[in-house]
Chain A
Amino acid sequence: MRATRAIVAVWLAGMSALPAQAQSPAGPRQMLVELSGGFLTTTRTFTDSAAPMINAEAGQIRASYVVPRSAIFSVGAYTQVWRQLSAGVLFGQSSRSSSASITASLPHPFFFSRSRQVEGTEPDAERSESTLAVLLRREFPVARRRATVAVFGGPAWLSVRQDVVERINYSETYPYDTAAFTSAVVTSAKKTQLGLLVGADVLHFVSRRLGVGAGVRYSATNADLPASLSSGVLAIKTGGLDVNAGIRFRF
């Protein structure tokens, strides 16, 4: 994160030395298309737990998920609505392979209060997120208009598909004093939720139509996935802070 910021700062410093290029404020509306690749910097963790009845006694199952940082790709298009103000849509997509650490306390079939403890991991709890945002974008020309700083924000529909541990399988044999985790039963849960996306972008046009840009975006919402260890919903946070860079086309 710190290294990324440093790179952006150096890039901005270099950009200010470029010659300025005048832009016409009048004339047909301008369109801006951006293609970016980036890095979703936010690591998400969340925990799910349930107390199912096992062997006539309440057990305990807990799954702790760690969703690591990942790549994100996005495409956006804006049209000028008034001077430096434009509106558009942005679509982003990320996919990451999360893992779930599972611990469970499994009641003994013959005795009360003699639960067996098991541990395991579900390494393939995949998560994909897509974001569709409707944005207002305000540009601030700098460096004699060859460079622009833009800020944007607006509502976003954040859709998340997360593999959720629904129950676990374990092995046990007589006399059942121990049990061993064998696998997790995973279901794929999907939820779309309205949230917010804000960000800032720095553009530098190397020609009249082609430019490069870099920026940061932050999107967030809470989603209740329709699957969990307890067969209820699992509340998670989606989105996060991403740093991206890419090419920009102006028409």
Chain B
Amino acid sequence: MTGLLVMPEAAQLTPTAGTRLLISQTSDDATSDQRAMIAFVERMIADGDLRLIDRRQDGFVEGSIHERFRQVFAGVPVFGADVAVQRRNGQVLSMFGVVYEGLRINVTARRPTAEIANVVRANGFAVTTAGDAQLFVLPAPDGSVSVAYLLRDDSGKAAYVDANSGTIVLQLNEFQTQAAVGQGTGVLGDSKKVSATGQSGSFVSSDGLRPPALETYDLRGDGSRVMTLAVGRGTLSDADLARSSNNVWTDGAVVDAHVYAGWVYDYYFKRFQRRGLDDNNIRIQSIVNPMRATDYFTAPPALRGLFINAFYSTGCRCVVYGPGVPAGVVAAFPQGVRNFAGALDVVAHELTHAVTDASSRLAYLNESGALNEAFSDMMGTSVEFFHQPTGTGPRTADYLMGEDLTPVNGSLQRSMRNPDEFDQPSHYWFRSYIGALLDFDSGGVHTNSGIANNAFYLAIEGGTHPSGQVVIGVGAQNREQIERIFYRAFTAMLPASATFFQARQATVQAARDLFGAASAPERAVIGAWTAVGVTSTGSALTTQFSPPRVTPSNARCSGSTVTPSFTFRVAVTEFQRVGFTVERFVIDSYDASLRLISRQDLPPGTFRSLFNECQAGNTRVGAGSTACTTLCATLGGRTSGAAIFWFGGTDDNGNYGLFNSDLVRFGTTSFAEFADGGSDDITYSRTVRQ
């Protein structure tokens, strides 16, 4: 064997790639040829023809060292020629690689790199300078060899250009699908890092670094498609992903929706060790640009709701961020509304709906719906405090929700510190709209959330509630304690039909679980709920339906000729050991689309006459007692629907209370959407048990 021949520049010999030697030497091989191969490689190393480029200790086999050498010819790296050597105690254990023996070429490059850069630019490369072009010896399969410059552009394309003829001799795409950190400008003009994925020479808004699939789709103003997706029809594809040619992202909505979704994931992981929305790293999907902000007036009325709104859709398991509207377009917002993706608390709020959807599934109506909204607000503002500095103004953490959406305070905001500032109640006795499902925001879910929001705020910051109650909070420096308490209660302990009272009890229990009985966090939570009027001193009624989903029957209810009918048992239990006297008894009935079709506001005597199976007929439900009845209902001939029962009255301590039941479902009701209501012939009558 001979070493590599290094020719002087003036040599006139014909260039040749020589012989391509495939080296494959394992510890079992001991033939003379293979020993000669090892000796040959060692000689190349000693001669400097194989240059060490990496050496590292074997992390698994003690005493082993792995070295990697690159072949150089006259100081120029040879493309595709390298050798990996494993040594143990100084001896070669294995050796794999490719080298060229007998390589011959003059490595002088005759064309300037500027000219080479022009060549690749003419072939579609985004190369601005060839200053860092690297020279390679490029053997070809046919035995020829050239000296070529390697130039790359930002999209991952690479070209080897003959340094003498100026022709492209090899072109590669060095980017496979791989995580790539880019840079973007958010809605508010701030610079952020964007975790994207390189794909076929460009970049898509798919996070390649976080554990779940985290993707942001740009629907480019196709509102009709967004609506279809939102109700679970149609699918999003890779073609819908936002895309950048150079990983520099300029669409603020794409940047913020994508980046903030990642920040929300980070918050849940770091604060609660939660792995994403379902704690199992389910896909996180965001949709931006459902409409173009400038198309507000030309958009069909059915799509107007896509502008000044953001929502989580269970249909597509995605969050849709409205583009807002420019200044001067909508009278209520003379200075316009920014893209909803630009507000971190809004993004966290919407994604927390998905967390709720995968945990407690708090029903989106009445008190449970208000708690659902409140929990999203709590986590929304907590994410702000986790990622942003405390303060006022854009991109700072505070107890306002949605403050970054508009240049000035407006109706898009909520205040956790002072809910009354934006027409939310801060006390339980001022809760509104409960039961008015259809006309008033599903029973005031966006209104009554202020009560729980204020409790959350007070448990952290403390202070004097307008009711005069003084709360000693845990302090801003300990906000994590309250965040953990509410997270635990709202995701692991509350039922879907939770009431404010249950939220109080669950958070108190969570505080005891995490920090011990009578701990400062527990006292803060109790004080906060008490301040907002959710107390443990009065009655509490809970209603159970048996069965919870009632099968239709062809039997007729007493006094009715309508079929089908639904027969079920209703049990009302007082569980706070304080007697409660019913003064008002309401049954709201809904059709299969959850449209209100009947409200029956019944006198207390009706309660007394009906609820006499578990106790003697009485308007009073004794402390810890249960009143029950069996009812037969018709829904005007409908085969499916639902009902909610309400009980208003005063407890033995003189406190007024209003308690609603969960839904009792009739037939195969699914309740996909809420809609406007009507009225119809609904009956509820007593069924005498056989």
Residues of A within 8 A of B183 (CB): 56
Give how many B residues have a beta carbon under 8 Å from the other chain's beta carbons. Answer: 27
Say yes or no for B470: interface residue by CB 8 A criterion: no
Say yes or no for B270: interface residue by CB 8 A criterion: yes
Contact of B51 among A55, A110, A174, A187 (CB under 8 A): A187
Residues of B within 8 A of A184 (CB): 56
Contact of B53 among A56, A176, A187, A231 (CB under 8 A): A187
Say yes or no for A175: interface residue by CB 8 A criterion: yes
How far apart are the CA atoms of A55 and B53 in the complex, in Å?
A: 24
How far apart are the CA atoms of A166 and B55 in the complex, in Å?
A: 11
Question: A186 contacts B270, CB within 8 Å?
Answer: no
Say yes or no for B182: interface residue by CB 8 A criterion: yes
CB distance from B195 to the nearest CB of A (A): 6
**Which A residue sits closest to B67, measured CB to CB?**
A186
CB distance from A52 to the nearest CB of B (A): 13
Question: B53 contacts A185, CB within 8 Å?
Answer: yes
Say yes or no for A109: interface residue by CB 8 A criterion: yes
Q: Contacts A56-B181, A174-B210: A124 and B55 contacting too (C-beta < 8 A)? A: yes
Contact of A166 among B48, B53, B57, B181 (CB under 8 A): B53
Say yes or no for A193: interface residue by CB 8 A criterion: no
Say yes or no for A251: interface residue by CB 8 A criterion: no
Mark each residue of chain A from 179 to 210: 1 if its CB lies under 8 Å from any CB of chain B, else 0. 00001111110100000000000000000000
How far apart are the CA atoms of A220 and B230 in the complex, in Å?
A: 75
**Which B residue sits closest to A231, measured CB to CB?**
B132
Contact of A109 among B55, B75, B181 (CB under 8 A): B181
Residues of A within 8 A of B270 (CB): 175
Question: B211 contacts A188, CB within 8 Å?
Answer: no
CB distance from B367 to the nearest CB of A (A): 36
Residues of A within 8 A of B169 (CB): none
**Which B residue sits closest to A122, measured CB to CB?**
B55
Q: Contacts A174-B211, A183-B57, A185-B54: A56 and B182 contacting too (C-beta < 8 A)? A: yes
Say yes or no for B262: interface residue by CB 8 A criterion: yes
Residues of A within 8 A of B210 (CB): 174
Residues of B within 8 A of A188 (CB): 51-52
Question: A190 contacts B48, CB within 8 Å?
Answer: yes
Which residues of B, 55-94, contact A by the 8 Å Cβ criterion? 55-57, 75
Say yes or no for A129: interface residue by CB 8 A criterion: no
Say yes or no for B191: interface residue by CB 8 A criterion: yes
Say yes or no for B571: interface residue by CB 8 A criterion: no
Say yes or no for B193: interface residue by CB 8 A criterion: yes
Residues of B within 8 A of A174 (CB): 209-211, 269
Say yes or no for B266: interface residue by CB 8 A criterion: yes
Say yes or no for A48: interface residue by CB 8 A criterion: no
Residues of B within 8 A of A226 (CB): 75
Question: A186 contacts B52, CB within 8 Å?
Answer: yes
Say yes or no for A111: interface residue by CB 8 A criterion: yes
Mark each residue of chain A from 132 to 172: 1 if its CB lies under 8 Å from any CB of chain B, else 0. 00000000000000000000000000000001001001000
Mark each residue of chain A from 88 to 125: 1 if its CB lies under 8 Å from any CB of chain B, else 0. 00000000000000000000111110000000000010
How far apart are the CA atoms of A56 and B246 in the complex, in Å?
A: 12
**Which B residue sits closest to A185, measured CB to CB?**
B54
Residues of A within 8 A of B55 (CB): 124, 163, 186
- The residue among A111, A163, A188 with the most chain B CB atoms within 10 A of its own CB is A188
Q: Contacts A55-B181, A56-B182: A186 and B54 contacting too (C-beta < 8 A)? A: yes
Mark each residue of chain B from 175 to 204: 1 if its CB lies under 8 Å from any CB of chain A, else 0. 000000111000000011101000000000
Question: B195 contacts A109, CB within 8 Å?
Answer: yes
How far apart are the CA atoms of A176 and B181 in the complex, in Å?
A: 13
How far apart are the CA atoms of A55 and B132 in the complex, in Å?
A: 20
Q: Contacts A56-B183, A174-B209: A109 and B52 contacting too (C-beta < 8 A)? A: no
Residues of B within 8 A of A112 (CB): 191-193
Residues of A within 8 A of B75 (CB): 226
Question: A163 contacts B52, CB within 8 Å?
Answer: yes
CB distance from A68 to the nearest CB of B (A): 19
Question: B269 contacts A175, CB within 8 Å?
Answer: yes
Residues of B within 8 A of A176 (CB): 209
How far apart are the CA atoms of A139 and B54 in the complex, in Å?
A: 48
Q: Contacts A55-B181, A175-B266, A175-B270: A109 and B209 contacting too (C-beta < 8 A)? A: yes
CB distance from A10 to the nearest CB of B (A): 40
Question: B211 contacts A56, CB within 8 Å?
Answer: no
- The residue among A110, A166, A188 with the most chain B CB atoms within 10 A of its own CB is A110
How far apart are the CA atoms of A109 and B178 in the complex, in Å?
A: 14
CB distance from B41 to the nearest CB of A (A): 15
Residues of A within 8 A of B195 (CB): 109-110
**Which A residue sits closest to B51, measured CB to CB?**
A188
Contact of A56 among B51, B132, B193, B263 (CB under 8 A): B193
Q: Contacts A56-B182, A56-B183, A174-B210: A110 and B262 contacting too (C-beta < 8 A)? A: yes
How far apart are the CA atoms of A210 and B247 in the complex, in Å?
A: 75
Residues of B within 8 A of A186 (CB): 52-55
Mark each residue of chain B from 156 to 188: 1 if its CB lies under 8 Å from any CB of chain A, else 0. 000000000000000000000000011100000
Question: B52 contacts A187, CB within 8 Å?
Answer: yes
Residues of A within 8 A of B266 (CB): 110, 175
How far apart are the CA atoms of A53 and B57 in the complex, in Å?
A: 27
Question: A111 contacts B48, CB within 8 Å?
Answer: no
Which residues of A, 42-64, contact B by the 8 Å Cβ criterion? 55-57
Mark each residue of chain B from 30 to 65: 1 if its CB lies under 8 Å from any CB of chain A, else 0. 000000000000000000100111111100000000
CB distance from B353 to the nearest CB of A (A): 23
**Which A residue sits closest to B52, measured CB to CB?**
A188
How far apart are the CA atoms of A110 and B192 in the complex, in Å?
A: 8
**Which A residue sits closest to B259, measured CB to CB?**
A110
Residues of B within 8 A of A183 (CB): 56-57
**Which A residue sits closest to B387, measured CB to CB?**
A111
Residues of A within 8 A of B182 (CB): 56
How far apart are the CA atoms of A186 and B75 in the complex, in Å?
A: 17
CB distance from A196 to the nearest CB of B (A): 25
How far apart are the CA atoms of A187 and B68 in the complex, in Å?
A: 9
CB distance from B189 to the nearest CB of A (A): 15
CB distance from A110 to the nearest CB of B (A): 6
CB distance from A191 to the nearest CB of B (A): 11
Residues of A within 8 A of B209 (CB): 109-110, 174, 176
How far apart are the CA atoms of A231 and B131 in the complex, in Å?
A: 13
How far apart are the CA atoms of A190 and B75 in the complex, in Å?
A: 10
Mark each residue of chain B from 206 to 225: 1 if its CB lies under 8 Å from any CB of chain A, else 0. 00011100000000000000
CB distance from A29 to the nearest CB of B (A): 36
- The residue among B52, B191, B211, B262 with the most chain A CB atoms within 10 A of its own CB is B52
Which residues of B, 254-297, contact A by the 8 Å Cβ criterion? 259, 262-263, 266, 269-270
How far apart are the CA atoms of A50 and B532 in the complex, in Å?
A: 58
- The residue among B51, B181, B182 with the most chain A CB atoms within 10 A of its own CB is B181
Contact of B193 among A55, A124, A190, A231 (CB under 8 A): A55
CB distance from B309 to the nearest CB of A (A): 28
How far apart are the CA atoms of A141 and B54 in the complex, in Å?
A: 53
CB distance from A175 to the nearest CB of B (A): 6
How far apart are the CA atoms of A93 and B86 in the complex, in Å?
A: 28
CB distance from A9 to the nearest CB of B (A): 41
How far apart are the CA atoms of A110 and B265 in the complex, in Å?
A: 12
Which residues of B, 535-586, contact A by the 8 Å Cβ criterion? none
How far apart are the CA atoms of A166 and B56 in the complex, in Å?
A: 13
Residues of B within 8 A of A108 (CB): 193
How far apart are the CA atoms of A175 and B209 in the complex, in Å?
A: 9
Some 24 contacts from A to B, beta carbons below 8 A apart, are: A55-B181, A55-B193, A56-B193, A108-B193, A109-B195, A110-B181, A110-B195, A110-B209, A110-B263, A111-B193, A112-B191, A174-B209, A175-B270, A183-B56, A184-B56, A185-B53, A185-B54, A186-B52, A187-B51, A187-B52, A187-B53, A188-B52, A226-B75, A231-B132
Known contacts A55-B193, A56-B183, A183-B57; 9 additional CB pairs below 8 A are A56-B247, A110-B209, A111-B193, A124-B55, A174-B211, A175-B269, A176-B209, A183-B56, A185-B56
Closest 10 CB pairs of A and B: A188-B52, A183-B56, A55-B181, A56-B183, A185-B54, A187-B53, A109-B181, A56-B181, A186-B55, A56-B193
